[in-house]
Amino acid sequence: MWRTLAVASAFFPGLFAFCVRALRWAAPGWSLKDRILLSGRLVSTVQATMATVSGLTVVLSCEDVVHDRHWLAVEYVWVLVPYMTYDIYVMYLCHWHKSREKGIAERKHSLTSVRSFLLQERLMVTHHLFILIVLTPVTQHFRGELGDFFVGCIFTAELSTPFVSLGKILMQLKMQDTLLHKVNGILILVTFFLCRILLFPFMYAAYGRQLYWFTLICRKAARLYGSSPADKSS
């Protein structure tokens, strides 16, 4: 746990800083805001790919959707905690640079700029805080040793994120009229439908097998305990 937290806490900010510096060399004409936006999207793509691969690994490894265990279902949550914390700060940086570009003079890291960020990005901040404050304790403690399969399913919900990020990157590069952007748009629709819409019926169907076996057990128990002593002796 602690080693994973430490590595992830260094990895995501380090990758972000590397991307910002690399873009200063690769695109010297870009503003700091543009480099921060693109770097944040690249790091988001890396994290989403890691989450999807981890989720698929867990899902494909768990035959018993309730009791089977896989270490990634627990360990990758400790990767998400530093990432979500890092991402909130990067969202703040993006907000501050956009506001500055619009001529809004707010001192960086001031209470006014933080309040403005929280008001404008309250939905995404709430989403991140919900994962940190609610889902992390649930997945790591309250569920016990059950349901790794379903945790893996939730990880795969990140499948569409790389394509969403690519779409924003292409728009940032003024490539929204290219064939690549159109193909990417189709991939966004397909992956979002698969991992955000069909995912939950799939989880229900996987758990439905357990309900089926439970129904058969109940019927057998009803026949066993509901029959008369004469029937049992015969």
Q: What is the pLDDT of residues 150-170, one digit of tens each?
A: 999 999 999 999 999 999 999
C-alpha 105: how far from chain center: 34
Q: How far is it, in rounded angstroms, from Cα 113 to Cα 109?
A: 6
Q: What is the CA radius of gyration of the chain?
A: 24
Q: Which amino acid is at 143?
A: R
Q: What is the pLDDT of residues 37-88, one digit of tens each?
A: 999 999 999 999 999 999 999 999 998 888 899 999 999 999 999 999 999 9
Q: How far is it, in rounded angstroms, from Cα 193 to Cα 47?
A: 20
DSSP string, 50-68: HHHHHHHHHHHH-SSTTT-
Where along the chain do its domains lie?
2-197
Q: How far is it, in rounded angstroms, from Cα 191 to Cα 161?
A: 9
